[in-house]
Amino acid sequence: MTDMLSDRDATRIDDVIARRAEAAFGFLERLVAAPSTVGQETEAQAVVAEELDRLGFTVWRIPVPASIADDPAAGVPQVPYTGRHDVYGVTDDDSAPKLLLNGHIDVVPAHDADLWSGDPFVPVRRDGWLYGRGAGDMKCGFAMASLALDGLRGAGVDLPGPLGFLSAIEEECTGHGTLAAARAGVLGDNVLLMEPTGLDILVAGIGVLWIEIEVGSAGGHAEVADRSGNPVRSLSRLIAALRRFEERMNEENPDPVFATVPHPYNVNIGRICSGDWASSVPARARASIRVGFPRLWSPAQAEEAVREVILAEAAEDPWLAEHPPVVRSSGFRAEGYALDPAHPLVTTVAAAHKAAHGTTPSPYAIGSTTDARFYLNQFNRPALCYGPNVRNMHGVDEAVELASIVAGARTLARVIPTLLAEGTGFPQPDPEGLR
């Protein structure tokens, strides 16, 4: 594949990127200051739409139909879709994008805000890092892409083909934003997701299932606790069984794609709700759990395996045997995915990174999911993630290294013209190819 940029163009682009970096950081700060947890994406999407308009895109809103829940690749919707939408920018209304950039605007909650150094939704810069919920996952990717496009525009480099830019909702719980847009025809011959990757190339992810377990009790005064069952204790027993299931899953399902990931399939107890008074036996307890599972399992198989573990453990417990727990699917039903690390999309991004930085980034796999799975599994489009260097994603004091936004933009500004010129030249990935 030929490099589309002359050395003189590349130098000019890097100069513009350096000059415009501050504006991109400002864009990121506006995004972080628009809290976009699930159901609350409108303000942040307006910030994205304004930026895409400034960059010369024609901007559309893409609704997510309620019928998305019936899609075979869907998860379980969290909140109604009325008034919520993806934002889609395209440089040419008449032809399909040769390259689609994908970012997700949604962020996870930051309920333990008092543990942060500052308000999670007030961006703060310190020692070259920008702190805030979503600064790392993944609003920094929007800033990186915007800066790359600013660099190309400012250097007078015309895009050699149509480019699309999708800002999707619900990547953190179902993937329905990206799935709905793709079903509506928002695709590219190649797709780059600007997820934070430390400027390496993320090519594969595991399956992810969300389940909720609910257990009940007779409830009542603490005086009857010895004979009423206690749902928190019941839940602890079921969680211990899931822990043993997790270890078996990791031992019994080696996958060469995840050979470098020591423990790919984590079962995470994400939320527990129960009770209202120290002297009352709670009437019920609920746990929201994320189950990572092998790439060769379908989400339905994973759910069945989890359900079996829970019900078998419940059968061993006198109270639970009489009051079986309810197990329900509650969000992600995500298949694993993998792009061959030798795929030309990977080598093209690696070559652009090398041209910008002199080093070769590593393709890698991770024990989590991204929206790349839809492009690879449902739509046969090559897709990978490349983005800035971050820390504490989903955690306290989440942050992005500002210099890595600039570095990533320099790579992206080199790869965008190449991929727009190349068009459909790449082979489509075979979803079964790496299985």
User: Residues in the site for Zn ion, rule: CB under 5 A?
Assistant: 137-138, 195
Kindly state the smallest distance separating residue 66's Cβ from Zn ion, in Å.
24
Q: Which two tokens stand for residue 256?
A: 């060469």
Kindly state the smallest distance separating residue 207's Cβ from Zn ion, in Å.
17
Q: Pairing state of beta strands 124-126 and 190-193?
A: unpaired
Identity of the residue, 193 or 306, whose beta carbon is nearer to Zn ion in the bound complex: 193
Backbone angles phi, psi at 70, to 5 degrees: -90, -5
Q: Which two tokens stand for residue 74?
A: 């869907």
Kindly state the smallest distance separating residue 138's Cβ from Zn ion, in Å.
4
Kindly state the smallest distance separating residue 102's Cβ from Zn ion, in Å.
10
Three-state secondary structure call for residue 333:
strand
Question: What is the identity of the amino acid at 141?
Answer: G
Kindly state the smallest distance separating residue 129's Cβ from Zn ion, in Å.
18
Identity of the residue, 13 or 143, whose beta carbon is nearer to Zn ion in the bound complex: 143
Residue-wise burial string across 266-294, b where 16 or more C-beta atoms lie within 10 A, e elsewhere:
ebeeeebebbeeeeebbebbbbbbbbbbb
Identity of the residue, 204 or 242, whose beta carbon is nearer to Zn ion in the bound complex: 204
Backbone angles phi, psi at 326, to 5 degrees: -95, 130
Q: Give the Å distances, CA to CA, from 418 to 129, 209, 348.
A: 30, 37, 8
Backbone angles phi, psi at 400, to 5 degrees: -125, 145
Identity of the residue, 168 or 215, whose beta carbon is nearer to Zn ion in the bound complex: 168
Q: Cβ(292)–Cβ(267) under 8 Å?
A: yes
Kindly state the smallest distance separating residue 387's Cβ from Zn ion, in Å.
9
Kindly state the smallest distance separating residue 134's Cβ from Zn ion, in Å.
9
- Alpha-carbon gap, residue 351 to 374, rounded angstroms: 25
282-309-78-191 Cα dihedral, nearest 10 degrees: 150
Identity of the residue, 195 or 397, whose beta carbon is nearer to Zn ion in the bound complex: 195
Identity of the residue, 101 or 213, whose beta carbon is nearer to Zn ion in the bound complex: 101
